[in-house]
A and B are shown apart, each in its own frame.
Chain A
């Protein structure tokens, strides 16, 4: 796409997920599946080839009873802006057919299903395993195709898909705003399905660049961290945790560094 953005009004949509609030209920996953017409298999026990745009992980501190602690961590696509925030996300820079693109106006990493030819190089590039391949053609149980979301195109076999930050909702909200003569959205006009579904209110979504949006402040919390920051992928999903071991689980550290950190 030709870049028509100007940096003054560029948005940077992102998420802050409060892990202290997350109960691991999986409502975000269910909402996402329904919202985005995510296909599923008859038997979902093999997770290595099943698709969940947002997946809840269970982390433990590795200690035995009674010191065992667990933490649930929902993991959508991080919508990385890449080294130096130039939009060269690990996946976008490697896609040979320009089938995944970094939108400089929103900061969202898109996936163009009809352009993807399924080489899976983006999956090899993504350290978060946020990308999923359609190993099968989607098959919906009898009658269920009637309840598919008409705003999201289902994907065919042989292409890669991933979390889009419910981009179709952004488009719908922008359409509405335009008809009303506005160029800007209110914070609540564009929210992802997982954000709205979370019963604990653990997920906050908004424009990280906009001081009026809650995420702008939340991401500055001393408890905030991102996954694998050391790789300089620059994710737009932040996590909050008051627990030290959880924050440390976000990245890889050498033993020597761990000792320094503990002091």
Chain B
């Protein structure tokens, strides 16, 4: 999973496969971080609650 685990080899298989994995994890992680940070900002601005 990581380049420092001993069975890691820098070959096409690892780069493509792990690249895909970290890409997906990155999108999921960044997406959620964005949502949470934006929600914190929105809330601090006083938005939200039951106004609609």
Contacts and interface: CB of A to CB of B under 8 A. Distances in A.
Asked if A and B touch directly (CB within 8 angstroms), the answer is yes
Interface residues of A, number: 3
Contacts of B7: 1, 98
B18 interface: no
A104 to B, nearest CB: 13
A2 B9 CA distance: 8
Interface in B1-42: 6-7, 9
Contacts, number: 5
Interface in A27-51: none
Contacts of A2: 6, 9
B48 to A, nearest CB: 44
A101 to B, nearest CB: 9
* SS of A interface (majority): loop
A144 B18 CA distance: 47
Nearest to A97: B7
A1 B9 CA distance: 9
Interface in A214-257: none
B21 to A, nearest CB: 13
A2 B5 CA distance: 11
B5 to A, nearest CB: 9
Nearest to A115: B7
A98 B9 CA distance: 13
A237 B9 CA distance: 30
A261 B40 CA distance: 78
Nearest to A3: B9
B8 to A, nearest CB: 9
A98 B14 CA distance: 13
Contacts of B6: 1-2
A2 B6 CA distance: 8
Contacts of A1: 6-7
B12 to A, nearest CB: 15
A98 B7 CA distance: 8
B9 to A, nearest CB: 7
Interface of A: 1-2, 98
5 contacts: A1-B6, A1-B7, A2-B6, A2-B9, A98-B7
Interface of B: 6-7, 9
User: Which 4 interchain pairs have the tightest Cβ spacing?
Assistant: A98-B7, A1-B7, A2-B9, A1-B6
